[in-house]
Structure 1
Amino acid sequence: MKYGLILNKNNLNIGDDIQAFATARFLPQVDYFIDREYMDDFRPEEDEPVAVIMNAWYMWHKWNWPPAKNIIPLFVGFHYADHQLAKQPGSPIKYEFLNGIGGDYLKAYGPIGCRDYYTRDQLQALGIESYFSGCITMTIPKMPETPEKGSYICLVDLEEKVANKMKKLLAEKNMDVRVITHNRERNSEMSWEDREKQVTDLLTLYQNARCVVTKRLHCALPCLALETPVFMIKEMEDDIRFDPYYDFLHRTTVTKFMKDEYSYDFMNPPANKDDYKKYREELITHITEFVDRMKQETRGADDLVKTTYTPEEVLVWRHDVMKESMNLWFDKYRALQVDYKHLVKKYQNLQKEINRAEKQSPELSLKQKIKKIIKRH
C-alpha cells in the first residue's frame, strides 16, 4: 500500500502544515503529496490505491470534488468552508457540493469524523453519518526540551492592542516575550522538508515556553498536545470552528482582557484542562487501526473503491452543481445591485434635504439638521 499526505500547497497559514505534520507521523512513509484543493486531479504513478488521512478544511475550490478514486480515505478532523458562517467573505455557494454524488462519496466512506460541531450537524442534516472526532493536531507528540525552557512567553497573532498590553504587563515582570505569527508568504513550491522544519521549529518554541497566549486554533490545540500552558484571547465567541474547543481551553475575550476582567497568572500558568485527552486517545487509536489495516491490504484501487458512480456521472453532476450555484451567485449579485441602487438614491435624497436645511436653518449645526431630517422620516 502507498500513502499520501494532504497539503495546502499555496497556504498563507502555517497551521495547515501543522495539520500535515501531525498526519505524517502516523504514516509508514509518504509516497505522494496531494494538493488539498485538487484531489480530483490526483493520479499515482501506477493505477494503485493510496491511503490518505483526510484531516483538513474543505473546500475552497468547490468544483474539485469528490477526490480521485485511487485515494482510499480516512475522514477525521473534517471541516468545510461555509464562508458566511465562518465570518469570512465569500460567495453564496456553501454546501451544494455535498449533495448528490459529492454527498454519496462521504456516505460511502463514513462515518465522517468532524473537526467541529457545526460540520458534524450539517453533515447529519444531509443524511451523512458523522461524529465529532476533534482535530489531528491534538495528537502531536512532545518536542525536545531546550535550556530555555520556561524562560519566555509566546504571543501568537494577538490583536495589536492585546499584544501591546501583554508586552507591557510582562515587561514589568522582566519576562522575555516572543511575538510570533502563523502567517507567511504564499509559496506553492516550498518543499515538504522546508515546511516540516518550520513546523518543528515552531512547535519546539511552544514546547519550551512558560505559556503561550494566542487567538489561533492551530496554535492552541498543538499546545494542548504538548502540555504547554495556553491561554486564548479571542473576541468572536460564535466562530463555528472553535466549538467545542472553547471548553477545552483557559480563555477570555478581548473586551474582558482589556478591562482586566479575567483570571490567569501568566507567570505561574495553570495546567491545561484535560477535556481534550479523550478525543486525542480515540483519534490515535482510530488512525492507527486504519494504517494497520492498510498495511495488510493487497487489493487494487478498483476493488477498494466504495462508490458506484462512473467518471461520466461525476462530470454531469459537477456541471449541474456548477450551473445551479452560478445561477444562485448571479441572483445574489442582482439583488445586491438593486439594494445598492436603492441606497444610492436614498443617500442622494437625504443629501438634498440636508442642503435645503442648510439654506432654511443656517443657525443649526449639521448634527441638529440630521436629527431633524431623521425625525421627519
Structure 2
Amino acid sequence: MQNTNNSEQKFGLMVYPANPTYNVGDYVQSLAAKQYLPKVDVFVEREKLKSYKGDDIKMIMNGWYIHNPSEFPPSAKINPLWVSFHLNANAKDKVLTPETIAYLKANGPIGCRDTYTLNALQEKGIDSYFSGCLTTTLDIKYKTDKKSDKVYLADPLFLLPHWGKMMYGPNQFIKAIISGDIFRFGKRKRILKQLLTDEFLETSEYVKHKLSGSHSEERRFEEAESILHKFAAAKLVVTSRIHCALPCLALGTPVIFINYGFNNSSDMSRFSGISDLFNTININDKGEVVANFDFNGKIGVDSKFENPTRHVEMAAKLKEKAYAFVK
C-alpha cells in the first residue's frame, strides 16, 4: 500500500510520444493535471504505462487512450485517479480485455471525458460517470483579468490541406499528392472567408497545435503554457481543436468551434457529449452551416459571443475530486 503522506508521496505526470510531431493539446491536458500536484517526480509516457517500473506514484490519468493497447492497463506502481478518460473508438476493442475490465473495475469509478467512453465502459459493467474534461479547470492557474484585443485562429479546419500542414515534414507533402489533397487547398480558404470577415482574417494570429517532435519535454510544456497564456488574454478565439475550445471555457475567453470533416469513428467518439459545451458551427459535406448559438453568418473582430456555462458544474466536481486525490 502506498504512503499517502505528501512529504514522501511521489507524483507522476503524463507525457506523449512524437512521430514526427506532437499535439500540444496533449500537454495542455497534462498542465490541467499538474495544477493539482504539489510536485512532479517523474514523467510517464502514455504509450509505456504498463512498462513503468519506477517508484510508486500517484497520477491523474486524464486524456486520450491509446495507440499501443499492449501497454494497457497501467503498472500497479501507478496509483491512478481516472477522470476525463477517453477510450478512442479505434482502440476500444483491443483495450477492453478481461484484464483491463478487471483493472478499471478495481480502480473506479471512472470519470469519462465523453459519452462514447461512458457507454463503452458501462456496457462492460464498469462503474463510470460523465466527468467532462479536466482542461475546463485550467482557470485555477491560467485565468487572467488582463484581456487584450488579440483574436486567434487556432488550427481552424485543420483536417483540410494547407501549406502549414505540409511543413510538418516531407511525408505530409507526399501524402497530399497521393491523396489529391494538394488540389483542395482552396477549400479551407473559401470556408474561412465565408465565416470570417476580411479584417478578422488579416489581423488574427495563427496558432498551431502540431509542433516539432524535436522539442524537449521542457519545451513542450513551455509551448503549451504559452498557448494558454495567449488564449487567456484573447478577445476571441476560433478553432477546430477541442483542447483549445475546452480550455477557453475555463479561461473565460469567447471561443467558437468550427466542426467540419470529423466524420470517422475516432473523431465522433471524441466529440460525443463534448461539442455541445461550447459555441459550435457545424458544416456538412454540402457546405451547409448550422450553429448551436445565435450566428449571423460572419464573425468579426468585434463580434460579441458568450460561452455556454454547461461545463461549470462538471468542472467544480472535477476540482473537488482532484484535490481530494492529491491530499
TM-score normalised by structure 1 residue count: 0.67
What corresponds to 1:38 in structure 2? 48
- The answer as to whether partners of 1:40 and 1:68 remain within 8 angstroms in 2 is yes
| Distance (whole Å) between structure 2 residues aligned to residue 106 and residue 259 of structure 1 | 42
- The answer as to whether partners of 2:153 and 2:238 remain within 8 angstroms in 1 is yes
What corresponds to 1:8 in structure 2? 16
Select the residue among 64, 74, 79 that pairs with 2:71: 64
| 1:95 pairs with 2:121 | no
What corresponds to 1:287 in structure 2? 322
Aligned residue type for 1:184:
L
Following superposition, the deviation at residue 257 of structure 1 comes to 11
Task: Count residues in correspondence.
Answer: 276
| Distance (whole Å) between structure 2 residues aligned to residue 22 and residue 270 of structure 1 | 25
Secondary structure at the residue paired with 2:67? coil
Higher RCO (Cα < 8 Å, 6 or more apart):
2
| Distance (whole Å) between structure 2 residues aligned to residue 246 and residue 63 of structure 1 | 30
What corresponds to 2:169 in structure 1? none
Following superposition, the deviation at residue 9 of structure 1 comes to 3.2
Following superposition, the deviation at residue 269 of structure 1 comes to 2.1
Query: Bigger CA drift: 136-145 or 207-216?
Result: 136-145
What corresponds to 2:229 in structure 1? 204
Change (3 A) 1:261 1:172: farther
- Could you say what the CA RMSD is over the residues aligned between the two structures, in angstroms? 2.4
- The answer as to whether partners of 1:152 and 1:175 remain within 8 angstroms in 2 is no
Aligned residue type for 2:56:
P
Query: Bigger CA drift: 277-286 or 64-73?
Result: 64-73
What corresponds to 2:307 in structure 1? 272
| 1:24 pairs with 2:24 | no
Change (3 A) 1:2 1:114: same
Change (3 A) 1:171 1:140: same
Q: Which has the higher strand share?
A: 2
Secondary structure at the residue paired with 1:225? helix
- The answer as to whether partners of 1:66 and 1:102 remain within 8 angstroms in 2 is yes
Aligned residue type for 2:22:
L
| 1:190 pairs with 2:225 | no
What corresponds to 1:170 in structure 2? 197
What corresponds to 1:250 in structure 2? 279
Change (3 A) 1:290 1:94: closer
Q: Which runs of 5+ in 1 are unaligned?
A: 84-92, 293-377
- The answer as to whether partners of 1:60 and 1:81 remain within 8 angstroms in 2 is no
| 1:81 pairs with 2:88 | yes
| Distance (whole Å) between structure 2 residues aligned to residue 230 and residue 173 of structure 1 | 14
Aligned ranges for residues 222-237 of structure 1 at < 5 Å?
Answer: 222-235=247-260, 236=262
Aligned residue type for 2:207:
I
| Distance (whole Å) between structure 1 residues aligned to residue 243 and residue 229 of structure 2 | 15
Q: Which runs of 5+ in 2 are unaligned?
A: 1-8, 161-186
Q: Which has the higher helix share?
A: 1
| Distance (whole Å) between structure 1 residues aligned to residue 40 and residue 25 of structure 2 | 20
% identity of equivalent residues: 33
Following superposition, the deviation at residue 27 of structure 1 comes to 0.3
| Distance (whole Å) between structure 2 residues aligned to residue 131 and residue 261 of structure 1 | 30
TM-score normalised by structure 2 residue count: 0.77
